[in-house]
Structure 1
Amino acid sequence: MNRKVILTCAVTGAGDTTGKSEHVPVSPEEIANDAIAAARAGASVVHIHVRDLETKQGSREVSYYREVVRRIRASDVDPVINLTAGMGGDLVIDPQDPLTTMPGTDLINALDRLPHVEELLPEICTIDCGSLNFGEGSNLYVSTPDMLREGSKRIQTLGVRPEMEIFDTGNLWFANVLVEEGLIDAPPLYQLCMGIPYGAPADPGLLAAMVNMLPKGAQFTSFAIGANQLPWVAHSVLAGGHARVGLEDNLYMSKGVKATNADLTARAVEIITSLGSSVATPDEAREILDLRVQTPTITGGDL
């Protein structure tokens, strides 16, 4: 187990979590400060969503991403920046009239999900490799094969490394097709997302099966949500992968004890080192993933 493990901190996500913990960052300044704190605690990569300042829900506002990235890049740490490109896939339908959309729908095409990636050129951005019944009710996440091919081609042109988000085995099947078609440059990077209703359950046996489906030379991370998050760090490392923690996926250190992003990152570092591995520095992560570092000019001050 003596190897370098890339540790990602997913700082805030887009879920309805701000009312459940005062530690979930909302403003660009708060999100950037949490990303910086996570990097200081040992995170190799910071995964960034942004939130609407009034509703506190997930947002696609480019200026918010710009401010978060500006603050991180101006800090005393240099984590790999991973921006979500999954916003804009939400479809909420009326179950009695499925052609009628309901509040909460935010459904746009593949290229319209990428303006912040095109402007800021992060080293990594995510693509969600399939559609999903997203929990109870009538909320669907929509990411079709046509959308994924178009988005992947554009991301490839930008020189950004896509992190392929895998929520079930069919997603993994299609991600492998993207690799076979040459739309994903080597080494392909997979994120195996476990325990999200109704995708792949957080089952170590299923993780092993999914790892066996990965193409030769692939890099992968796996995470699980809620109480499974910290134990899953060990599962992912022992399966040969990297690890992810953060308030996007879990709000607690233990039962009743609320976490911060820095807390979760520090605990993950302890778990990884206890297994005989070490956490990759940001530069080591860049080398492992063969990332292309680009530095676009970012202007503007505080929001």
Structure 2
Amino acid sequence: MNFETFITCAVTGAGDTTAKSRHVPVTPQQIAEASIEAARAGAAIAHIHVRDPETGKASRDVALYREVVERIRASDTDVVINLTAGMGGDVVFGAGERPLPLDPAGTDMVGPTERLAHVAALLPEICTLDCGTMNFSLGDYVMTNTPSTLRAMARQVQALGVKPELEVFDAGHLVFVHQLIKEGLIDGPAMIQLCMGIPFGAPDDPLTLMALVKNLPQNAVFSAFSIGRKQLPYAAMAALAGGNVRVGLEDNLFLDRGVPATNAQLVERAVSVLTGMGAHILTPAEVRTRLHLRQPGQRAAA
């Protein structure tokens, strides 16, 4: 059991969820306000994607990230900012007997530097690295992260002084995490997010979770989450496994059966679960110390 636990709130994600809940934030103002509300409810970290304000679809627009980050930094609420770097690794093949050409409507593949443009511009304390490639739906979409791309991204993030959150969706991704550490591309302590229950990655049963936990790098700091109705039970599961917690509308839209949630409500429920188990909820300042984070906006020493 981890009795010193921090909570990450993934406030919006990139999925097609805006039509399913009016609480999913879309505009930069809404995303910033959701992050601030989650922090006030007890989240130490806000994990942030941005969306096109007109369509609600996922975006890589640096200007949108800038507005979100500046709004959060200008508020009187302290929270560790964690920007996704997963965008730009999306491939949608043609269906059936004609996998090529790729489907232009869903394919968004760019190089490592472009994927990190918003991170280089805004210098958040944390950004994500999805540590492998995976079939991500029943159709033809593949989340694509090649080893050479991830190495290049890790080098750039390390040079910027930003902590990478290493997102692990299956056992092979964790093998690659060990490889990045072996090559000196990850500064300690490694920060790892175990992403459970996502088709077609690691299932969210306790034995699979513990198998991943048992194979974590030495001294790693990890969180774990599941999606949908398993999200809130995983607040307890992750802490029992020795880890930290992630909740938020990226992964789950409901507080109870048929009851739409806000991000702040999901954080409040996680706080209730964890404190009921005797855990202390870490503050942003305590998380910065634990993860050896640089101050926001501070570049690595030359």
Q: Report the TM-score, using the length of structure 2 for normalisation.
A: 0.96
* 1:142-169 CA-partner distances (Å, limit 9, x unpaired): 0000101010000000000000000100
Secondary structure at 2:67's aligned position in 1? helix
* 1:207-238 CA-partner distances (Å, limit 9, x unpaired): 00000111111000000000000000111000
Paired with 2:13 and 2:57, the residues of 1 have a C-alpha distance of 9
2:5 maps to a residue whose letter is V
Look up the match of 1:242.
244
- Within 5 Å, give how 1:186-197 maps onto structure 2: 186-197=188-199
Q: How far apart are 1:2 and its partner, in Å? A: 6.8
Q: Could you tell me whether the CA contact under 8 Å between 1:2 and 1:278 is conserved in 2?
A: no
Look up the match of 2:181.
179
Paired with 1:234 and 1:121, the residues of 2 have a C-alpha distance of 32
Look up the match of 2:122.
120
Paired with 2:245 and 2:62, the residues of 1 have a C-alpha distance of 28
1:224 maps to a residue whose letter is S
Q: State whether structure 2 residue 135 is matched by structure 1 residue 143.
A: no
Following superposition, which runs of at least 4 residues in structure 1 exceed 3 angstroms of deviation?
A: none
Q: Could you tell me whether the CA contact under 8 Å between 1:176 and 1:215 is conserved in 2?
A: yes
Paired with 1:213 and 1:276, the residues of 2 have a C-alpha distance of 26
Paired with 2:62 and 2:154, the residues of 1 have a C-alpha distance of 20
For the aligned residue pairs, the C-alpha RMSD in angstroms reads: 1.2
Paired with 2:6 and 2:54, the residues of 1 have a C-alpha distance of 34
Q: Could you tell me whether the CA contact under 8 Å between 1:130 and 1:143 is conserved in 2?
A: yes
Look up the match of 1:211.
213
| Cα pair distance change 1:2/1:181, threshold 3 Å | closer
Secondary structure at 1:100's aligned position in 2? coil
Look up the match of 2:157.
155
Q: State whether structure 2 residue 52 is matched by structure 1 residue 52.
A: yes
Q: Could you tell me whether the CA contact under 8 Å between 2:10 and 2:46 is conserved in 1?
A: yes
**Sequence identity (%):** 56
| Corresponding pairs, count | 297
1:93 maps to a residue whose letter is F
Look up the match of 1:300.
none
Paired with 1:158 and 1:206, the residues of 2 have a C-alpha distance of 34
Q: How far apart are 1:111 and its partner, in Å? A: 1.7
Gaps of 5+ in 1: 297-303
Secondary structure at 2:9's aligned position in 1? strand
Q: Report the TM-score, using the length of structure 1 for normalisation.
A: 0.96
Q: State whether structure 2 residue 242 is matched by structure 1 residue 277.
A: no
- Within 5 Å, give how 1:96-107 maps onto structure 2: 96-102=97-103, 103-107=105-109
Gaps of 5+ in 2: none
